Amino acid sequence: MHALIVYAHPEPKSFNAALLDVAKNTLADQGHAVDVSDLYGMNFKAVIDRSDFLTVRNPDHFNIPIEQRHATHNSGLAPDIVAELEKLKRADLVIFQFPLWWFGPPAILKGWIDRIFLSGVVYGRSAMFERGRLKGKRAMVSVTTGGPAASFGANALNGDILDILAPLHRGVFAFTGMTVLPPFVAYHVPYAGNAERCVMIDTFRAHLARLDTLQPLPMPRFADHEAVLAPTLTAVAH
């Protein structure tokens, strides 16, 4: 089994870096081959633009999905996209390790998604949810928060952490066909002392040890919405 950890934190001595090490070691101990994309360490380009492509389908109008499909069929993807795509394709398990910034992933991780999840390769037309191109892979978020646990919850100030993570769970993982495992959340990290951090590390290790028994999050099925969406699936792009 192959695992890919996409890691987004700028400080090698951060708690996120410690969680990355835990995941690397625990998964390796389980017999996984582990790839790590250390986005800050790689100086990963976050912004999708013309330089993502060595080819040009339309020089007068930069349409990203069109350029992505054209480049894919004409060996025109930038080398860093090809490299990340290969890691994604061979992964049976994908983990995003990041600090929650403004209720979402750091821009460098959002940019990894924007650039690597290519039209025609990772998604397209009705290749969504249970028909997605990444079906068979499992995916999981491991996230740290600045806010305390008491600020998250259905009736709490910030709302439920699952609602905050829904764009990743539903919009990225499930949308492309991946099975979504429950996230690991380390709360209030900047204010946690060493003892609390050790407990969180142990809890993460236990979470990783029982991945096979975790109940995946419920996600919608395309088939249940196909009748409603059928008229729109034959629309022609302008």
Binding site for its own copies (CB under 8 A): 10-11, 13-14, 40, 46-50, 60-65, 101-108, 110-111, 113-114, 117, 128-129, 146, 148, 150-151, 156-159, 163-164, 166-168, 170-172, 175, 188, 190-194, 220, 222, 224-225, 228-229, 232, 235-238
Minimum distance from CB of 6 to its own copies (Å)?
A: 13
28 Cβ partners below 8 Å, 6+ apart? 34
Residue entry with tokens 């429950």: 182
Asked whether 123 and 112 are in contact (CB, 8 A), the reply is no
Kindly tell me which of 155 and 213 has the beta carbon lying closer to its own copies.
155
If the CB atoms of residues 2 and 170 are measured against its own copies, the closer one turns out to be 170
Residue 6: CB atoms within 10 A of its CB come to: 26
**Residue (30 or 148) nearer to its own copies, CB:** 148
CB of 186 to its own copies, least distance (A): 13
- CB of 205 closer than 8 Å to CB of 26: yes
Write down the least CB distance from residue 34 to its own copies, Å: 24
Neighbouring residues of 202: CB distance < 8 A, sequence distance ≥ 6: none
The strand pair at 2-7 and 184-186 is best described as: unpaired
For its own copies, the closer of residues 26 and 129 by Cβ is 129
Any idea which residue has 């025609």 for tokens? 120
Comparing CB distances to its own copies, the nearer of 34 and 109 is 109
Cα–Cα distance measured from residue 139 to residue 5, given in angstroms and rounded to the nearest whole number: 10
